[in-house]
Amino acid sequence: MKGTLLLLPTQLGESDWQTVLPAATRETACQLRHFVVENAKSARASLKWLGHPVPLREIAIEQLPEPLKPQDIERLLAPLLAGNDLGLMSEAGCPGVADPGALLVRRAHELGIPVKPLVGPSSLLLALMASGLDGQRFAFHGYLPQREPERSKRIAELEKESRQKRQTQLFIETPYRNEALFNALLAACQPDTRLSVATDLTLTTESVATHRIADWKCRSVENSASADFSHRPTVFLLLSGQ
């Protein structure tokens, strides 16, 4: 019998597990003894956060190497082929979404290993839900270029694609670059394009705001709006032409 690959969501920031995870997800995680994780340090913190009953030193925790090679995937999936259940954990949120663990899931399907996603928070889905933008057609683009003029060129491409396809565009940035990205969006986008900024999702400091670019510019001048999400995990969403 092969084990089951369990896709285990984890917290997006400092909060009690009861606020973001069903009890069944936590119970399943606390039964596991084998984990493959994006970051071993944050995974140990998450298992402690969950109140895993087994001492951490007795739990097998394997970190995804970079780059992830085919032989690494075979090694990491070996406990499943030996009949053990295995939990896959991202650094934050849902594994397999904006996360290198998707390659493990793909190979598990090829090997006939059962895959079970567990319920938990996804910053991308939460941001889309709260944005008021188009939830029927959307795309996640990861990180945009850091340097100019490449960043503004990419923003213009995404805005054009959004207008043509009536599609919400989602992207993220390293928190300390949030302000630079926000200012680039204000400079590159058309006045009637809607921009949503979702920060610290699931935390007590959570904030979500959606305005047209023209309104963001006014608010930014009046209230220093960008300072509200500087150095805080943030999802950016834009929708043009609606």
Architecture in CATH of 5-117: 3-Layer(aba) Sandwich (3.40)
Q: What is the pLDDT of residue 226?
A: 57
pLDDT value for 227: 60
Give the integer Cα–Cα distance in Å for 78 and 157: 43
What angle do helix axes 178-188 and 150-165 make, rounded to 10 degrees? 60
Distances (CA, A) of 44 to 16, 29, 59, 108, 200: 16, 12, 10, 24, 21
Mean pLDDT by 10 residues, the chain (242 residues): 96 89 96 96 94 96 94 97 97 89 96 97 96 97 96 98 97 95 96 97 94 91 66 96 78
Put simply, whether the predicted model's pTM sits higher than 0.85 gets the answer: yes
pLDDT at 219: 81
Q: What integer pLDDT is reported at residue 225 of this predicted model?
A: 55
Enumerate the domain spans of the chain: 5-117, 123-239
Architecture of the CATH domain 123-239: 2-Layer Sandwich (3.30)
